[in-house]
Amino acid sequence: MRTAAETQVRRPSAVRALTALLAVTAAATVVVEVLNWWYAPEQGFGLAVRTGWAMLRSFGFLLLIGHVRRGRTVARPFGLILAVTTVFAVGRLIVPRQGVPPLPGLLGFALLTTLCATVVWLLYRSPALAEHLVRHRPRLVIDRTGISWRETPPRRPEASAWLLTARVAAFTYSPLMLVPALVATAAILDGQLLAVPAVLLWLGAGVATSYLVLFCTAFLLRGRRWAGTLLVVVTVAVLAVDLPLCWWLLGVDGLIRDGAPLVVAAALTVYGIHRATHPALTPTPP
């Protein structure tokens, strides 16, 4: 007689392999950040904020494990954005202001980059994962049988992978603005009172961006073309606010460390919108 556990459907080997890989990547993120902090020549306030933000990404990988195990469609774009931004978040901390990076930091960064690249490759190249990641989020359903919480397909047309990628990438705008804004508060603590209005503007813009992105993406997933245009406008405005403030308050070093990840996220957002709204034309069969 079989037990209930034995009668359950066994997950594909690719799912189990990806789950283990994500757990290793989450642990590697923490280890690499600890090594970088240990060997950093300057353990200041800015490095502490950036290190804390980078280490929070380990929880992102744990959340991604849950999406993968449940077969959620959002796992692919979420994994792509998480992997890309993790590489940037860790890479910007490895390079010191002066001199060359320490060898342990370089080895850890190379290992983490390899892990993230493998995660993305499995998510987008594994046929078994493509067949597994097809489920939607559970919703509250009210019908003749009563009230229940179960998986249901969305009423709107299913969003393409590029739309989901653009949505997830746009949601990173707010934290990518708030982190350097918090780093810039060190200028206020150093007595630069002229930086107070700029930092307050930066923080306010970061919070407002999260609501604007939520508004745009809600209509974008419903097939509204104007929402894609508005999201591109928001993207340009975000870059116009964030990049000059990074350069002014954090210098060229801050512009590279904090501005580059935002530029990458913005490029993914715009490219995702373009690919979703202008799909490649397929030749008409004779």
pLDDT tens track, the chain, 286 positions = 344 443 345 677 889 999 999 999 999 888 888 877 777 666 667 777 777 777 788 888 999 999 898 888 888 888 988 888 888 877 766 766 666 677 777 888 889 999 999 999 999 888 888 888 877 666 655 656 656 555 565 555 555 778 888 888 899 999 889 988 988 887 676 667 777 888 899 999 999 999 999 999 989 888 788 999 999 999 999 999 999 999 988 888 788 888 888 998 999 999 999 888 766 544 444 3
- The domain spans of the chain are 11-153, 157-278
Contacts 24+ apart (CB under 8 A), 121-129: 122/14, 122/17, 122/18, 122/21, 123/18, 123/75, 123/76, 123/79, 123/80, 124/76, 124/80, 126/14, 126/18, 128/12, 128/13, 128/14, 128/15, 129/12, 129/14, 129/15, 129/18, 129/68
